[in-house]
């Protein structure tokens, strides 16, 4: 693919910037200076708007006054038309920055006889150019002359002379032309005369949705983007989306921003997602995609960051009401100017045009967080090959601006059966973080679960969490695993109760055992006491016996001694031993 750098080597053609968003990027700086450019396309594809914007931006931004010579509309009509682009043509005319000249040509009023030329037109144009010192000229649509003047041979010769003349005068000119039949670029073959730069505009309808596209067919002496680029005519004029020229070189921030759901942040390595990354939230209907994204938006607002929500399913009022029901109040942030909600019908434009519009809105509002809810509506019935590059353009654009983006995407209804991962393969590879929401149907109820399918550049949980929406807000709850499945909702609550009961029972059991043990110990102690008492009794008896015997012995001895004493104490020792037994 050809890619033009904004910087030019000195040898390249001098160019006149158009000031039209994107067009200067594609053409590498603008239209060829001092040469005519042919802009052609079928009716209603934006030729006049492009030409007019080229002129007005030239007059207001680049100090190049311009002459607009119109052959179809008159000055009032044109002024009214461009007012919608935010340009005050009357004022520019009054300031002599732009000169409008309506060439009215009515075949029925004109009789033709003999030789003539179009010197009148030259004089008119020359006078117009001189009177305001014009550098730019638009002829819209000069082909109207073919209808007004019967002698085409003269006309062709004069047109050739006109373009030559414009070149000689150094005018950067835009000549518009109607697309011809078949392969013809213009109906009357104007490309034959204007060979320096040819831009074609197209307005195609596919699946009842129209998309405007622009292509630089030819640019003599200059490289240019050759692709077809979608464009829109928006509130600020034309806007071309030259996204394939954006390179993959955006910076990557290490800053993390919380999602607003603490448990979700925990699952994402404890800190949330990276600033400037893209988050995809997929899920079947009613799984809470919008709620998570709204929470994310609200959290950004709380941090004082600008946030933009593109809602493709609900009107702003509906979004506000619905989010209030889960405790997310968006209205105050809107009042503060931190939040904008843009709602539009997905079917209003083609995907490309939506993207151009988003692009314009983002450029105007400069948010730090963008929520698109949902992208699946935009990609309605479109082939993946078509959708992916277009979305890539948007994501790349947002990343380049360090804007954190949240996209929700609806997966087809039966999530349980088919793997929902499959349905998003196209865009998921563009996303840094992918949250998957699933409905788990079990036990006669449906509950929401959340997985972090991927999250680039951070450790993230592999756990499933139950996702609970209530008027208090969003929360994630640990799920229970039981009987080979994740338990959620009342099943989880039931299991929790059951476990609580079991725990109580166990506690009671312990108490009982302890009590039994205590009783047993007491019994043992009693036994010990009894035995001790018995021992003591025996001991006492033995002591008594010993004491008795001692007493007896002593008594006997005393008796003996007394006797011996009485006998006169002869040979006391011997007799004592004998007398003992």
Partner 1 sequence: MKPEKPKQYELRLYVAGQTAKSLAAFANLKRICETHLAGQYRIEVIDLTKNPALAAGDQILAVPTLVRRLPEPIKKIIGDLSNEERVLVGLDVQPVMA
Judged by the rule CB under 8 A, the positions of this chain that interact with partner 1 are 101, 103-105, 109-121, 123-124, 126-128, 145, 149
Instruction: CB nearer to partner 1: give 77 or 112.
Output: 112
Helix (H, G, I), strand (E, B) or coil at 395: helix
Those residues whose C-beta lies under 8 Å from the C-beta of residue 205, and which sit 6 or more positions away, are 211
- Taking the C-alpha atoms of residue 393 and residue 447, their distance in angstroms, rounded to an integer, is 35
Instruction: CB nearer to partner 1: give 126 or 316.
Output: 126
Q: How far is the CB of 134 from partner 1 (least distance, A)?
A: 14
Q: Is 523 exposed, middle or buried (0-12, 13-18, 19+ CB in 10 A)?
A: exposed
Tokens of 307: 């946030």
Q: How far is the CB of 166 from partner 1 (least distance, A)?
A: 16
Tokens of 535: 């021992």
Q: Please answer whether residues 245 and 432 qualify as being in contact, where contact means their C-beta atoms are separated by less than 8 angstroms.
A: no
Instruction: CB nearer to partner 1: give 115 or 249.
Output: 115
Q: Please answer whether residues 298 and 260 qualify as being in contact, where contact means their C-beta atoms are separated by less than 8 angstroms.
A: yes
Q: How far is the CB of 153 from partner 1 (least distance, A)?
A: 13
Tokens of 481: 């695993």
Q: How far is the CB of 123 from partner 1 (least distance, A)?
A: 5
Instruction: CB nearer to partner 1: give 102 or 263.
Output: 102
Q: How far is the CB of 427 from partner 1 (least distance, A)?
A: 55
Instruction: CB nearer to partner 1: give 44 or 120.
Output: 120
Q: How far is the CB of 144 from partner 1 (least distance, A)?
A: 11
Around Cβ 542, how many Cβ atoms within 10 Å? 10
Where b means 16+ CB within 10 Å and e means fewer, 335-358 reads eeebbbbebeebeebbbbbbbbbb
Instruction: CB nearer to partner 1: give 126 or 180.
Output: 126
- The 3 state secondary structure assigned to 262-328 is HHHHHHCCCCCEECCCEEEEEECCCCCHHHHHHHHHHHHHHCCCCEEEEECCCCHHHHHHHHHCCCC
Q: How far is the CB of 171 from partner 1 (least distance, A)?
A: 16
Where b means 16+ CB within 10 Å and e means fewer, 387-411 reads bbebbbbbbbbbbebebbbbbbbbb
Q: Write down the residue that tokens 């002024």 correspond to.
A: 79
Instruction: CB nearer to partner 1: give 115 or 181.
Output: 115
Tokens of 154: 């003269």
Q: How far is the CB of 69 from partner 1 (least distance, A)?
A: 10
Q: How far is the CB of 75 from partner 1 (least distance, A)?
A: 11
Q: How far is the CB of 98 from partner 1 (least distance, A)?
A: 15
Instruction: CB nearer to partner 1: give 145 or 201.
Output: 145
Cα separation of the two ends of the chain: 140
- Taking the C-alpha atoms of residue 184 and residue 179, their distance in angstroms, rounded to an integer, is 7
Instruction: CB nearer to partner 1: give 110 or 526.
Output: 110
Instruction: CB nearer to partner 1: give 67 or 243.
Output: 67
């Amino acid at each position: 693919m050809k890619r033009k750098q904004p910087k030019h080597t000195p040898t390249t053609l001098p160019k006149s910037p158009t000031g039209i968003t994107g067009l200067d990027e594609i053409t590498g700086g603008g239209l060829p200076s001092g040469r005519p450019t042919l802009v052609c396309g079928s009716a209603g594809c934006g030729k006049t708007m492009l030409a007019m914007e080229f002129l007005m931006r030239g007059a207001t931004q680049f100090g190049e006054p311009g002459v607009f010579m119109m052959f179809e509309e008159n000055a009032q009509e044109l002024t009214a038309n461009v007012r919608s682009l935010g340009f005050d043509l009357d004022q520019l005319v009054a300031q002599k920055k732009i000169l409008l000249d309506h060439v009215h040509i009515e075949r029925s009023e004109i009789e033709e006889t003999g030789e003539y030329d179009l010197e009148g037109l030259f004089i008119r144009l020359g006078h117009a150019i001189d009177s305001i010192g014009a550098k730019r000229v638009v002829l819209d649509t000069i082909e109207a002359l073919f209808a007004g003047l019967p002698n085409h041979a003269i006309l062709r010769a004069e047109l050739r002379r006109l373009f030559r003349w414009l070149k000689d005068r150094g005018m950067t000119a835009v000549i518009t032309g109607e697309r011809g039949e078949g392969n013809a670029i213009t109906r009357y073959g104007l490309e034959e005369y204007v060979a320096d730069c040819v831009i074609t505009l197209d307005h195609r309808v596919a699946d009842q949705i129209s998309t405007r596209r622009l292509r630089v067919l030819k640019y003599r002496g200059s490289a240019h983007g050759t692709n077809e680029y979608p464009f829109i005519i928006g509130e600020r004029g034309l806007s071309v989306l030259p996204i394939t020229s954006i390179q993959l070189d955006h910076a990557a921030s290490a800053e993390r921003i919380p999602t607003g759901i603490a448990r979700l942040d925990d699952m994402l390595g404890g800190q949330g997602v990276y600033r400037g990354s893209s988050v995809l939230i997929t899920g079947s209907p009613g799984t809470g995609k919008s709620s998570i994204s709204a929470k994310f938006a609200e959290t950004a607002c709380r941090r004082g960051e600008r946030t933009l929500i593109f809602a493709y399913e609900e009107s702003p009022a509906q979004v506000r009401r619905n989010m209030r029901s889960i405790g997310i109040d968006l209205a105050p942030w809107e009042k503060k100017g931190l939040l904008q909600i843009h709602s539009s019908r997905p079917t209003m434009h083609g995907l490309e045009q939506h993207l151009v519009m988003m692009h314009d809105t983002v450029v105007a509002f400069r948010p730090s967080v963008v929520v698109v809810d949902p992208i699946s509506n935009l990609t309605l019935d479109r082939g993946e090959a078509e959708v992916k590059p277009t979305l890539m353009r948007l994501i790349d654009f947002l990343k380049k601006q360090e804007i954190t983006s949240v996209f929700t995407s609806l997966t087809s209804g039966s999530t349980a059966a088919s793997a929902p991962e499959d349905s998003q393969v196209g865009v998921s590879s563009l996303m840094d973080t992918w949250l998957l929401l699933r409905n788990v149907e079990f036990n006669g109820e449906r509950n929401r679960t959340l997985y972090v399918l991927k999250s680039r550049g951070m450790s993230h949980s592999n756990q499933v969490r139950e996702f609970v929406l209530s008027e208090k807000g969003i929360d994630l709850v640990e799920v229970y695993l039981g009987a080979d499945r994740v338990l959620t909702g009342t099943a989880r609550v039931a299991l929790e109760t059951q476990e609580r009961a079991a725990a109580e029972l166990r506690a009671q059991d312990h108490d009982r055992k302890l009590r039994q043990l205590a009783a047993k110990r007491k019994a043992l102690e009693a036994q010990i006491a009894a035995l001790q008492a018995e021992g003591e009794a025996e001991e006492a008896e033995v002591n008594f016996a010993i004491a008795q015997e001692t007493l007896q012995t002593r008594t006997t001895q005393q008796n003996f001694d007394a006797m011996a004493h009485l006998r006169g104490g002869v040979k006391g020792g011997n007799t004592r031993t004998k007398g003992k037994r």
